[in-house]
Amino acid sequence: MKLFKYLLLLCAFILLSCNNNSLLVTGLKGVNESIKKEYAPDKRVAIYDIDLDYYDDKIVASGETDSKIGYQKLLDSLKSLDIDFINKIRILPDTVIGNDKFAIANNSVINIRSEPKHSAELGTQGLLGMPLKVLDKNGDFYRIQTPDKYISWVDKGGIHRMNKGEFDEWNTRKKVIFTKNFGYVYADKNENSEIISDITLGGILKFTGMDNNFFEVEYPDKRTGFIKREEAEYYESWLMNLVASQENIEKTAKSMIGFPYLWGGTSSKGMDCSGFTKMVYLMNGFVIPRDASQQINAGKIIDTNLNFSDLQKGDLLFFGTKATEENKQRVVHVGIWLGNEKMEFIHASGNVHVNSMNDSLPNFDEMNKNRYLGSRRYLGVKDKNIIDLKAKLKL
């Protein structure tokens, strides 16, 4: 915050010495930018889009943010300078969305886009039953935040909105998790009955009953259906029985071999490189950051010599462009180390498949070896960016 304090003093000097409005606004914008860098450095997981301008002898602060602390810092700065200003800042969520400030994913996979329109880039996906925060509304789209804190837009048909009481009730009820790659929810206890919807790996629904062959389940919007018992488990027992070992990371990863690559995908219907690593760790009980450029900032740094000698099965390998004097490091790809004498790793590129760092083998990946940046270890590491669902369940 040294820069912030310096800029604040600069603004005070300008205000007291020459009352130059142009310089004052420039100084205030510097203060505003320093607040943004502290409280919302990554726009994918935090909102701070606030502008400061000068109209009719007044400073006008406009825009939106979900950071109450950052917002208060800006107000305190303006008030400390005794500046006359007009406040047009929205603190999200606000009255635009009313009391239903939460939601649950209501389709097998929901597509979450960079802008509130169907033609926008696919940023990420959510699975059936995923809890969400609702921050804003634009037409038929809602700006939501996923458990990994990723913020973007989803169309209204993909979610079921709830108030706090309904959301808490959903989260505390007994659940069933779908553990196969693909399947269906049926209208009756018969796989030849009408299909309510498809369901994919990791999808979660409310448990309402069971018999020898089927779980009876309920959707967030109160639809009911039946899932084959052989394709699902009680969520709590599934989670508590998980063993997040190197072998289970490999087993989960290899179960996805052949899944198609999809930019922005994080489901068995299609996944990008970081969506793949995210799904592998999710099915082992961890919520990890969404993008490769975020995943590289979590866990424990390993293999600083970049020779693969310190790697263990389950470590994440990162690829991209190394930093230079002119440019920062750029992370564009991620995979999971499998180890063994073949020096293999598994990743989503075209589809999910295994490659090697051994140049004597037919599946040698020369391109990725040449752009290898380093690795991170997640297993056995406590990190605020790695959410242990099992530990969370015990709270």
3-class DSSP string for 106-168: CCCEEEEECCCCCCCCEEEEEECCCEEEEEEEECCEEEEECCCCCEEEEEHHHEEEECHHHHH
Q: Is 11 a residue of the active site? A: no
SS3 377: strand
Least confident residue range of 207-216, 226-235, 324-333, 385-394: 385-394
Residue tagged 């750029």 (tokens): 330
Q: Which of 11, 18, 160, 333 is catalytic?
A: 333
pLDDT: which is higher, 158 or 85: 158
Is the pLDDT at 289 greater than 80, yes or no? Answer: yes
Asked whether the beta carbons of 335 and 271 are under 8 A apart, the reply is no
Q: Which of 11, 18, 118, 347 is catalytic?
A: 347
Is the pLDDT at 392 greater than 90, yes or no? Answer: no
How far are the Cα atoms of 194, 234, 239, 254 from residue 149, in angstroms, in the given order? 36, 26, 21, 27
SS3 9: helix
Is the pLDDT at 6 greater than 60, yes or no? Answer: no
CA distance 149 to 133: 9
Q: What is the pTM of this model?
A: 0.93
Tell me what pLDDT residue 11 has. Answer: 57
CA distance 86 to 363: 62
Q: What is the mean pLDDT of residues 234-252?
A: 97
Q: 270 pLDDT band (50/70/90 cuts)?
A: very high
333-380 pLDDT, tens digit per residue, is 999 999 888 999 999 999 999 999 999 999 999 999 999 999 999 999
Q: Is 118 a residue of the active site? A: no
CA distance 7 to 321: 34
Q: Which of 11, 118, 160, 273 is catalytic?
A: 273
CA distance 140 to 130: 20
CA distance 137 to 98: 10
Q: 77 pLDDT band (50/70/90 cuts)?
A: confident
Across the chain, which distance is largest between two alpha carbons, in Å? 82
Is the pLDDT at 264 greater than 90, yes or no? Answer: yes
Residues of the chain with pLDDT > 90, as a percent, come to 86
Tell me what pLDDT residue 4 has. Answer: 58
Q: 10 pLDDT band (50/70/90 cuts)?
A: low
Q: What share of the chain is helix, strand, coil (3-state, %, to 5)?
A: 25, 35, 40
Radius of gyration (Cα) for the chain, nearest Å? Answer: 24
Indicate the pairing of strand 151-155 with strand 141-145.
Answer: antiparallel
Q: 29 pLDDT band (50/70/90 cuts)?
A: confident
Asked whether the beta carbons of 289 and 295 are under 8 A apart, the reply is yes
**Contact partners, residue 66, CB within 8 Å, separation at least 6:** 46, 47, 48, 91, 92, 93, 135, 145, 151
The number of angstroms, rounded, from the C-alpha of 1 to the middle of its chain's C-alpha atoms is 27
CA distance 72 to 49: 14
Q: 238 pLDDT band (50/70/90 cuts)?
A: very high
Q: What are the structural domains of the chain?
A: 2-91 (3.30.1340.30), 102-170 (2.30.30.40), 173-240 (2.30.30.40), 246-389 (3.90.1720.10)
Asked whether the beta carbons of 364 and 355 are under 8 A apart, the reply is yes
Average per-residue pLDDT for the chain: 93
How far are the Cα atoms of 97, 100, 124 from residue 138, in angstroms, in the given order? 10, 15, 19
Tell me what pLDDT residue 85 has. Answer: 87
SS3 254: helix
Tell me what pLDDT residue 7 has. Answer: 52
Q: What are phi and psi of 207, to 5 degrees?
A: -80, 130
Q: Is 333 a residue of the active site? A: yes
Tell me what pLDDT residue 16 has. Answer: 46
Asked whether the beta carbons of 207 and 175 are under 8 A apart, the reply is yes
pLDDT: which is higher, 324 or 20: 324
CA distance 107 to 110: 6
